[in-house]
């Protein structure tokens, strides 16, 4: 028994000595968290279904492309990016549900979206103070004042509305314009800027007609516009309403120039009303040639066109990734660093944010549809 007791005693002493031996590991100090390798979640918000789904699906694909490239290079200091895609359906109700999930359940530090202005304006009060929002396509002027955490790398309609008025008055020579616009945040915002700017130039607004975003019949509004005898019609609407507008202006024999905005770049429009679209004009934010990015997008989506907002979503993911590599994935830290972004060389152009989270500058291009193709308009 004594022998057994002695062996047990020696074993216990050995265990104590091993447990007390110094190691090369650095102890975690009080309050310090162990480093995690969990993925960093980023929300993607846009109209994944509905009449402007081409744009939502485009920003989702571009975001995925950026995340895939970042993850292939080791992610964010060893942590992979994980995208959570939600459908805002280009309206406040569905956006509210989607953003509440992203912010309060998924707890994402960043949302890339919305695409539509109504999505971003609905997301802002939910995300403010908790989650950074960077829109790759929302242009309503009110977004400028939507919150400290709200950014966009897509230009404001406070610039675009004025540019459209200059195109109408100076380039297309219109002096009397009729305006038709949908009842959404995007349409309302830009048409207000357009009308104010056009009047300041000396032009006359001879008719203003509003319609529901989902409208399938505009004959009443277009008849009033025809009777006003404008030199040009300025139309602001999304894809399906634009198709209706182009069809019914032809039906009613309205033969004056028609000027639209960036939403007219949706490939679906030419697919459905190629003949009726011949000769129309639209203005769109200038994006420099980005052949490598566009080739990768076409390969990823299997589609021949890279849609509006895709370049900006790709840039937004890369800007956020660069910041997180330096400061981590805390929303407030990311927000603070975004205000310092200046002269970032993105595929959508050079990006810098002002004190309101807006782009510091923007350029626009006037397009015309000729032979079923959108080309730059030259006087």
> In this structure, which long-range contacts are made by residues 266-271, counting pairs with CB atoms below 8 Å and at least 24 apart in sequence?
266/52, 266/54, 266/55, 266/239, 266/242, 266/307, 266/308, 267/54, 267/303, 267/304, 267/305, 267/307, 268/54, 268/239, 268/243, 269/239, 269/242, 269/243, 270/369, 270/372, 270/374
Average pLDDT over residues 37-53: 96
CA angle 275, 279, 284 (to 5 degrees): 110
The answer to whether residue 336 scores a pLDDT higher than 90 is: yes
What is the average pLDDT value for the chain, to the nearest integer? 91
| Pair 63, 57: CB distance under 8 Å | no
Confidence at residue 269, expressed as pLDDT on a 0 to 100 scale? 95
The answer to whether residue 331 scores a pLDDT higher than 50 is: yes
Is residue 14 included in any domain, yes or no?
no
Is residue 16 included in any domain, yes or no?
no
Residues 55 and 128 in one domain: yes
The answer to whether residue 31 scores a pLDDT higher than 80 is: no
Residues 210 and 223 in one domain: yes
Categorize the per-residue pLDDT at 36 as very low, low, confident or very high, splitting at 50, 70 and 90.
confident
Is residue 333 included in any domain, yes or no?
yes
Residues 208 and 67 in one domain: no
Is residue 27 included in any domain, yes or no?
no
Residues 279 and 301 in one domain: no
Q: Whole-angstrom distance between the N-terminal and C-terminal Cα of the chain? A: 109
Categorize the per-residue pLDDT at 35 as very low, low, confident or very high, splitting at 50, 70 and 90.
low
The answer to whether residue 240 scores a pLDDT higher than 50 is: yes
Residues 75 and 47 in one domain: yes
Strands 344-346 and 204-211: unpaired
Tell me the angle at which helices 310-327 and 53-72 cross, rounded to the nearest 10 degrees: 40
Confidence at residue 15, expressed as pLDDT on a 0 to 100 scale? 36
pTM of the model: 0.87
Q: What is the pLDDT of residues 153-168, one digit of tens each?
A: 999 999 999 999 999 9
Task: Give the whole-angstrom CA distance, residue 314 versus residue 344.
Answer: 13
Confidence at residue 375, expressed as pLDDT on a 0 to 100 scale? 96
State which residues form the domain around 46.
Answer: 40-156+288-362
Confidence at residue 214, expressed as pLDDT on a 0 to 100 scale? 81
Residues 196 and 265 in one domain: yes
Q: What is the pLDDT of residues 194-221, one digit of tens each?
A: 999 999 999 999 999 999 988 889 999 9
Confidence at residue 379, expressed as pLDDT on a 0 to 100 scale? 74
Residues 264 and 328 in one domain: no
Categorize the per-residue pLDDT at 267 as very low, low, confident or very high, splitting at 50, 70 and 90.
very high
Confidence at residue 134, expressed as pLDDT on a 0 to 100 scale? 98
Residues 76 and 146 in one domain: yes
Q: Which two tokens stand for residue 119?
A: 């999505």
Specify the number of domains making up the chain.
2
Residues 298 and 152 in one domain: yes
Strands 364-370 and 281-285: antiparallel
Where do we find the tokens 């950026």?
Answer: 66
Where do we find the tokens 């569905």?
Answer: 94
| Percent of the chain with pLDDT strictly greater than 70 | 91
Q: Of the given ranges (34-48, 169-183, 349-363), which has the lowest mean pLDDT?
A: 34-48
Confidence at residue 108, expressed as pLDDT on a 0 to 100 scale? 98
Residues 151 and 229 in one domain: no
Of residues 32 and 59, which shows the higher confidence score?
Answer: 59
The CATH code of the domain that includes 185 is 3.40.50.2300
Confidence at residue 18, expressed as pLDDT on a 0 to 100 scale? 35
The answer to whether residue 30 scores a pLDDT higher than 80 is: no
Residues 77 and 63 in one domain: yes
Residue in 240, 193, 186, 192 with CA at minimum distance from that of residue 218: 240
Task: Judge if the upstream peptide bond of residue 10 is cis by omega within 30 degrees of 0.
Answer: no
Residues 59 and 81 in one domain: yes
Task: Give the whole-angstrom CA distance, residue 87 versus residue 119.
Answer: 10
| Pair 236, 182: CB distance under 8 Å | yes
Phi, psi of 182 (to 5 degrees): -85, 160
């Amino acid at each position: 028994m004594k022998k057994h007791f002695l062996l047990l005693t020696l074993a216990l002493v050995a265990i104590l000595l091993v447990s007390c031996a110094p190691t090369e590991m650095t102890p975690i100090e009080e309050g310090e968290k162990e480093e995690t390798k969990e993925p960093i979640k980023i929300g993607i918000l846009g109209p994944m279904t509905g009449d402007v789904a081409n744009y939502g699906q485009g920003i989702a694909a571009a975001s995925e492309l950026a995340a895939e490239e970042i993850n292939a290079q080791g992610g964010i200091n060893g942590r992979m990016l994980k995208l959570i895609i939600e459908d805002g359906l280009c309206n406040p109700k569905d956006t509210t549900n989607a953003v509440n999930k992203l912010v309060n359940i998924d707890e994402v530090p960043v949302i890339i979206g919305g695409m539509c202005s109504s999505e971003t304006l609905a997301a802002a009060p939910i995300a403010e103070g908790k989650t950074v929002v960077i829109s790759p396509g929302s242009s309503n002027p009110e977004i400028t004042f939507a919150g400290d955490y709200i950014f966009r790398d897509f230009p404001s309609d406070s610039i675009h509305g004025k540019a459209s008025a200059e195109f109408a008055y100076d380039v297309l020579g219109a002096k009397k314009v009729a305006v038709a616009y949908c009842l959404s945040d995007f349409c309302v915002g830009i048409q207000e800027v357009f009308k104010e700017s056009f009047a300041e130039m000396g032009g006359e607004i001879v008719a203003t007609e509003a319609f529901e975003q989902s409208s399938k019949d505009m004959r009443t509004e277009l008849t009033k516009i025809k009777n006003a005898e404008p030199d040009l019609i300025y139309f602001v609407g999304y894809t399906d309403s634009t198709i209706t507008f182009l069809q019914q202006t032809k039906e009613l024999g309205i033969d004056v120039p028609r000027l639209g905005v960036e939403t007219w770049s949706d490939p679906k429009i030419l697919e459905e009303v190629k003949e009726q679209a011949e000769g129309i004009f639209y203005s769109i934010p200038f994006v420099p040639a980005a052949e490598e990015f566009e080739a990768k997008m076409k390969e990823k989506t299997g589609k021949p066109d890279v849609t509006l907002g895709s370049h900006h979503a790709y840039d937004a993911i890369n800007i956020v990734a660069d910041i997180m590599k330096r400061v981590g994935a805390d929303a407030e830290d990311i927000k603070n660093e975004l205000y310092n972004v200046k002269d970032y060389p993105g595929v959508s152009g050079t990006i810098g944010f002002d004190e309101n989270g807006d782009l510091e500058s923007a350029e626009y291009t006037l397009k015309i549809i000729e032979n079923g193709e959108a080309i730059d308009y030259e006087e």
